[in-house]
Structure 1
């Protein structure tokens, strides 16, 4: 069975001063999605060169531990997680209400981020509750976890107030502005919970415009008129707007859903779907109509949502599982499904583009398998690279001791992990 816990690198660094410059690294014998087998040299946090296997000189990479054998692995741009809830993650087994004590939130956020890093997500957008019961304590805790994880994963935060209109709205707006000043780099929330959803969106867009922040809003899109209004209001806002999970669109008549998708596309809104379920009521799970949205020209990205909280007590936070579900249940090709959790997700989050080519950031995931379909269906063994460093490894060995005892010609074990 695979050990799902990520294994950080043996070297250490100070979280206050940040990681030292990564040493040169040579990834040997990896397969690319186009079928080539290559060596990839990393340096200074970027890809320095890509050449046929055995062609790259190991100059500067001869020191112990600077060569990684990726024979049998597929090398990909690393996933990014656009929709995480680390402040409530890993709380499903707790009794009573979720604790927003800063110590509890920091512990859960750190563990959940490392869990998702082990799956391959080197960048995560964390949606964090602010105001009412959480105050600013949960955000403070997640920002501290972010600093502690520097050099392992890139964590950005979305401030999510509950109410921004009516008598309680003034307090919510003050907390939202304070959250941005503290370090929240995205403003968002769930307008469906406010007595005046349109007013809520107007308030979020106002704060975003004041600070030049992206916007990331939650809605189930059960009301097509409401989601169309959100799209129209958000259209023209830059640097961008994301809306999700939009699962209610799947419950609309096809013609109505199609018109709504056209409006989302015209507004330039990204839809973040959650194929694994879990971001809200357990009985309201579903997934946005991915193919309809894509055919309308909407950029669709996929996130994991809940990681073992009350919304999804068994949530794994695995971007490859999200891609697998897009391919197996929603008819996307393996390449398009993986792009939804990697290159498209990175673009929606405002992160630099990643390709396995010279000059691009060294944000990579190596998965045991000879192609994307195999990688998505049985991605047990993984090597994760962030900033040019190997930051996590997961290995698995599958054994068949019973049949071999009956027939000695049968193999005793089949390795699906790294040597």
Structure 2
């Protein structure tokens, strides 16, 4: 677990009086923090420059630049990250028929999906992309092009997912995987459950990852504890580390067996990304990993969205706050722990630095209308998203009651109108 008192990457004064204001600075005014304080936050150079009591930073020159955002009535949080998306198939259910892997279609969908998730607050995204069993590396190139077009709005990284890696049929997949990394994929992934030799598949993935010094992110829903134990043992020595998801099969194992497996995953340093919104497999496989058991064993648990309106989940929202809401409401996590799964832990999966609303930390922030985290997870429509120190997305929801006898009888405002959380 992260140290409770980490040193910020670049410390700076929190007094707000350290010299001339940055002309590109942004002042967030009157934001509420989860500890109950109401503060002003000054951003500059992509980082949090200062945090002070409300009104204390207004006279430091930032106001003269006009770069200020009133966050009265908003809760300010570290921005979430999307730890498990599928960039090549996202939004394909809307088109009907077979999924198109034409590069222009993949790029358009991947871009639209990333912007949708950015609007929800995710300023970083890990997209799994199939290689080998779809036309060449065209889908990967399309997602990489989407990444380039989104630069400055959100951070998109790609996971190369070959279908087969063992035997004669797997030789082409192995060559394609290496080519994918040369092209720009930064993570080795895949699904060993689909290969005739799951152990051999994992061995091949770990070997390629070791060659290139890159992380591993594998899909598995296996209910075979021996297979998961072998995977954990094989992954234990790899750095920068191994992520598994969605691991819903763990939830179908007897409690004692699942507990032993969780201990093995913890000892190997494996991170589990669960998918509480429905996963990325068929409906018959949709179950969520036993998050409380995993956390109790010391496994780092993050949460992702999985499928976003594709054939396996035609109604996916891609909303990190919905994932956190489900972890709290359905799986019993405290709201703070549930939000950690989509923010700090998700950022750790992506290899990103920690974010805190403190001077010196990256200015990756999400403001949601409301006063408490539990309320924000329950109903947070209005959001302001900050990436690299600037506002990149806003969503504002308005509720309006009609002027009717029913509204009057219920005591609701007649023609009432106002922003809702």
TM-score by length of 2: 0.92
* Superposed displacement of residue 62, structure 1: 3.0
- Corresponding residue for 1:356? 357
| Counterpart mapping for 1:160-309 below 5 A | 160-309=161-310
Q: Report the counterpart of residue 152 of structure 2 in structure 1.
A: 151
The CA distance in 1 between the partners of 2:23 and 2:136, in whole Å, is: 38
Structural mapping, 1:21-100, within 5 Å? 23-62=24-63, 65-100=66-101
- In 2, Cα distance between equivalents of 1:237 and 1:327: 32
- Aligned ranges for residues 315-394 of structure 1 at < 5 Å? 315-394=316-395
SS at match of 2:339: helix
In the TM superposition, what is the alpha-carbon distance from 1:406 to its structure 2 partner?
A: 2.8
Distance 1:102 1:225 in 2: 39
Query: What are the superposed Cα offsets for residues 245-270 of structure 1, whole Å, 9 maximum, x if unpaired?
Result: 00011111001101100000000000
Secondary structure, aligned partner of 1:248 = helix
* Range 220-229 or range 365-374, more displaced: 220-229
Q: Deviations over 1:382-402 (max 9, x none)?
A: 000000010000001112223
Match of 1:411 among 390, 394, 413: 413
CA distance in 2, matches of 1:221, 1:71: 47
Give the TM-score normalised by structure 1. 0.92
Cα distance in structure 2, aligned partners of 1:65 and 1:161:
50
The alpha carbon displacement at 1:411 in A equals 2.5
- State the 1:289 CA deviation: 0.4
SS of residue matched to 2:179: helix
* CA RMSD of superposed structures (Å): 1.6
| Residues 321 and 376, structure 1, Cα contact 8 Å, conserved in 2 | yes
Measured against aligned partners, the alpha-carbon deviations of 1:89-120 in whole angstroms (never above 9, x if no partner) come to 00113333211100000000000000000000
Question: Deviation at 1:81?
Answer: 0.5
- Does the Cα contact within 8 Å between 1:362 and 1:385 map onto a contact in 2? yes
Gaps of 5+ in 1: 1-20
Conserved? CA contact 1:301–1:345, under 8 Å: yes
Number of residue pairs aligned between Structure 1 and Structure 2: 398
Q: Tell me, in whole angstroms, the C-alpha distance in 1 between the residues paired with 2:51 and 2:409.
A: 44
Moved more, 302-311 or 21-30: 21-30
Q: Specify the alignment match of 2:315 in structure 1.
A: 314
TM-superposed CA distance for 1:416, in Å, is: 3.5
Distance in structure 1 (CA, Å) of the matches to 2:287 and 2:386: 32
User: What SS does the aligned partner of 1:411 have?
Assistant: coil
CA deviation after TM superposition for structure 1 residue 364, in Å: 0.1
CA contact (8 A) 2:401 2:407 kept: no
Give 1:408 shift.
10
Determine the structure 2 residue equivalent to 1:111.
Answer: 112
Give the conservation status (yes or no) of the 8 Å contact 2:219–2:245: yes
Structure 1 residue 235: Cα displacement: 0.5
1:57-102 per-residue CA deviation (whole Å, 9 max, x = no partner) reads 3434235651100000000000000101011000113333211100
* Displacement after TM superposition at 1:278 (Å): 2.9
Preserved contact between residue 23 and residue 65 of structure 2 (Cα < 8 Å): no
Distance 2:298 2:384 in 1: 33
352-361 or 63-72, which deviates more: 63-72
**Aligned counterparts of 2:160 and 2:143: Cα–Cα separation in 1:** 11
Q: Secondary structure at the match of 1:62?
A: helix
Q: Which runs of 5+ in 2 are unaligned?
A: 1-21
C-alpha distance in 1, partners of 2:268/2:174? 25
SS in 2 for 1:47: strand
SS in 2 for 1:344: helix
Distance 1:165 1:403 in 2: 70
Task: Tell which has more relative contact order, 1 or 2 (C-alpha 8 A, sep 6+).
Answer: 1
Aligned to 1:132: 133
Q: CA contact under 8 A between 1:404 and 1:411: conserved in structure 2? A: no
| 1:355/1:171 CA distance change after superposition, 3 Å | same
Please state how far the C-alpha of 1:322 moved relative to its aligned partner. Answer: 0.1
